[in-house]
A = this chain, B = another copy of it.
C-alpha cells in the first residue's frame, strides 16, 4: 500500500491486529486518527501506555487494578467470606454493574479447555485454593455457561467439596452458550438469586 504514507500503513497494520478490528475498520480508524487534533492523538497514545504501565493483577483476587489490592478486596463493606469465581475482569464488571453482590471475587483469567490445551494450571486456580485456607464460607462459581465454563465449574466444585466449604453455581437463568458480559442485569441477578448448591 505505498500509495499511502508508510506511517499510515504501519498504523493500519497495527490496528488490524487488535481483536475484532478487520482491515477495513483499521483503515477507517487510521484515517480518523490522522485527522484528529494532535493533542487528542497524544492523549490517546499516553492513555494506552499509562494503562499498560500501571495496571496489574490484584494480589488477592487477580482482577486488573492499579493498586496492590483492588478497590473491591480493600472495601471493608464487602464480605470476604463469599467469593464469586469468574473467568475475566469483564465478567466481574458485569456482576458489579448489578450493584447487588456484596461478596468478593476471584478472576481465573480463562477457563479449562482441553480443546485449546488450557489446563487447570493455566488459570488462577491454585491461587483460589490458597485463598480458601482463610475464612471462607461460600464459593459461587460464575464461569460462563459454555462448554469450557461448565467444565471449569465442575472441576472447581470437585476440588472444593472435600474442604467442606459451600460451593454454588449461578442459576441457569444465563442462556446456554451465552457470554456473561453481554447479558442484561436482571438476568444476571436472577441467576445469582437462583443459584444451587453443587
Interface residues of A (CB under 8 A from B): 1-8, 10-11, 14-15, 18-21, 24-25, 27-34, 36, 38, 41-55, 63-67, 70-72, 88-90, 92-93, 96, 181-182
Contacts and interface: CB of A to CB of B under 8 A. Distances in A.
A20 B26 CA distance: 10
Nearest to A37: B52
Copies of this protein chain in the complex: 2
Contacts of A19: 28-29, 32
Contact of A8 (B27, B36, B55): B55
A142 to B, nearest CB: 15
Given A29-B18, A181-B24, A54 B3 contact: no
A115 B49 CA distance: 40
B28 A90 contact: yes
B11 A96 contact: no
A32 B51 CA distance: 11
A20 B25 CA distance: 8
A7 B90 contact: no
Given A20-B29, A29-B20, A7 B50 contact: yes
A10 B55 CA distance: 12
Q: Which of A38, A46, A89, A182 neighbours the largest number of chain B CB atoms within 10 Å of its CB?
A: A89
